Amino acid sequence: MSATPRTPALTRVRRLDMPRLSRGIGRSGRWLVAGCVLGIALLTGVMIGPAGLTASGVARELLGALPGVTLDSGLTSQQQAILWQIRLPRVVLGALVGATLAVAGAAYQGVFRNPLADPYLLGVSAGAGLGATLAITQGGGIGPFGVPLAAFAGGLLAVSATYALGASVGGHRSSTIIVLAGVAVAAFFSAVQTFVQQWFDDSLLAVYSWMLGRLSTNGWSDVIMVLPYVLASWVLLLLHRRTLDVLAVGDVEAASLGINVPRVRLVLVLVATLGTTAVVAVSGLIGFVGIVVPHAVRLIFGTSHRLLLPLAMLFGAAFLVLADVAARSVVAPAELPIGVVTAFVGAPFFLVVLRRNRSMT
């Protein structure tokens, strides 16, 4: 049998496997580094706070919860309640939100071959913001899950409108048209949201509090609510990570390798948006995670999506948990909106990425 010919497209896909700053780190070393960073972030998130939880006490309490293990953690009943009902749900939710925003950002950047794309590219934030604003202005008659469900519906509606508008002007032929359609839809939804805010100005504080992002939870209910959508989004995106490497070489080359580019692009965008709208519904609008984390992972570990997506999830989870720690600590006992913390990190990073990509063109 003759060897499979090395087409230019296949050669360019293989080149994506070459890391940049981690040539001396083996494959197992990458996972070890990512796992250690995430573990340190989770432990820090659980420990930091006014309750005086110690690392050893937390470790014994968690181990004691395992079947067949009996350990005295030394924590008081009040500290145990804080750990299980406040700290752990918040840390787990932060990890879920960070991982989802990071992997969605990496997927968007791969689909559109745009290094500045993030999960809010197609109007997700504007749609979710409008939905949440409408729910908040209705007061207490919407139930405990009214704001998250309204934000979720608004985000999906915005993406649907983006694709409908893009398809009407030939968006199936160019990803640029879809991006421009997303800008138009986001502007429209933002205008409607501003109108609603001005009409119900007594709810402005609550609306802005949600828009700036927060990880305060109602126990485990928020985690349980988003978990099915997040897991589905993660699994489907990870199953397509090799396809994203093929899309990176260009639509024509990908089609020559048997990829139905418009269909794959639509599936990946919808899957990434599903996870994004789910976490935005419970966390509010937390920006820059989808830009900062994927680019940092690319710089250190390389551009192949086979590694980029899972590593972005791990580092994204760690990044947002640590950002939440900073939000809780900088002005303690008060609390900064977590979106402010991510913006402090993300805005300068965004400028660096913009300048870097400009110098490469």
State the pLDDT confidence band at 89, using cuts at 50, 70 and 90: very high
Gap between the Cα atoms of 38 and 98, Å rounded: 11
**For residue 277, is pLDDT > 50?**
yes
Contact 353, 294 (CB under 8 A): no
When the pLDDT of each residue in the chain is averaged and rounded to a whole number, the result is 83
Whole-number Å distance between alpha carbons of 254 and 270: 20
In this prediction, residue 240 carries a pLDDT of: 94
Question: Which of 322, 344, 330, 342 minimizes the C-alpha distance to 91?
Answer: 322
What single string gives the DSSP state of each residue in 213-234? Answer: -----STTHHHHHHHHHHHHHH
| Degrees to nearest 5, angle at CA 351 with 270 and 266 | 10
Q: What string of DSSP letters covers 35-51?
A: HHHHHHHHHHHHH-STT
Average pLDDT over residues 103-130: 86
How many whole angstroms separate alpha carbon 273 and alpha carbon 182?
Answer: 13
Model confidence at 114: pLDDT above 50: yes
Long-range contacts, stretch 220-228, CB < 8 angstroms, 24+ apart: 220/89, 221/144, 222/89, 222/93, 222/148, 222/282, 223/89, 223/92, 223/93, 223/96, 225/145, 225/148, 225/282, 226/93, 226/96, 226/278, 226/279, 226/281, 226/282, 227/96
Question: Which domains can be identified in the chain, with CATH numbers?
Answer: 30-46+77-356 (1.10.3470.10)
The count of other CB atoms within 10 Å of the CB of residue 216 is 16
Minimum mean pLDDT range among 167-176, 227-236, 237-246, 315-324 = 167-176
- Per-residue pLDDT of 217-256, as tens digits, reads 678 988 998 999 999 999 999 999 999 999 888 878 888 8
pLDDT of residue 137: 84
Give the contacts of 119 (CB within 8 A, at least 6 positions apart).
101, 104, 105, 108, 272, 273, 276, 290
Q: Is residue 185 within 8 Å of 162, Cβ to Cβ? A: yes
Mean pLDDT of 250-273: 87
Mean pLDDT of 93-112: 94
Instruction: Determine the longest span between alpha carbons in the chain, in angstroms.
Output: 75
Residues 78 and 62: their CA atoms lie apart, in Å, by: 16
Supply the pLDDT for residue 36: 95
Q: Are 42 and 91 in contact (CB under 8 A)?
A: yes
DSSP 142: G
Q: Which whole number is the average pLDDT over 106-112?
A: 91
Residue 22 is predicted with a pLDDT of: 56
Global pTM value = 0.88
Q: What is the pLDDT of residues 3-38, one digit of tens each?
A: 444 455 545 554 555 554 555 566 778 899 999 999
Of 251-255, 294-298, 313-317, which gets the smallest average pLDDT? 251-255
pLDDT over 70 at 347, yes or no: yes
Higher pLDDT pick, 167 / 220: 220
> For residue 56, which amino acid is it?
S
